[in-house]
Amino acid sequence: MNRLKHLILPISATIITIIGSGLSATKAKELLTFNLFSQDKLLHFTCYFVLTVLWSYGLYKIKITGCVQKSLWITISVGLLMEVCQYLFFEGRQFEFLDIIANISGSLIGALVFIKIIK
């Protein structure tokens, strides 16, 4: 159980990301005070950057081999799944290919930064 404490933060951040991704477009616009295209993609990038660093660190601390690859698998899967779910299930939300690009870019850069930090 002591080892699992290192996964509390990445799991919590993932849940918050999933909830945020499921907000209606109207509710999201109320919560976000900006409406510029680049800021939306920057938000996606930053979110998945942070998720990847958190997952990498958590998995690293519990001595999971291939922690960075596993964190990439988790975060990229969550990003893809959320875009598909937005399209299929959430009113006022839509599938955006550029969001996927921003999510994956954030994940990849987060992984590279984590690798640099631990070396």
Reported as a single tens digit per residue, the pLDDT across 63-77 is 999 999 999 999 999
- DSSP result, 50-98: HHHHHHHHHHHHTT-TTHHHHHHHHHHHHHHHHHHHHHHH-TT----HH
What pTM was computed for the model?
A: 0.85
CA distance 56 to 9: 11
With residue 37 as reference, give the H or E element that holds it.
helix 37-61
Query: Once rounded to an integer, what is the mean pLDDT over residues 9-21?
Result: 92
CB atoms within 10 A of CB 65: 7
Q: What would the pLDDT profile of 16-41 be if each residue is shown by its tens digit? A: 999 888 775 555 555 555 554 457 88
Residues constituting the chain: 119
Query: Once rounded to an integer, what is the mean pLDDT over residues 85-95?
Result: 79
More confident residue, 88 or 107: 107
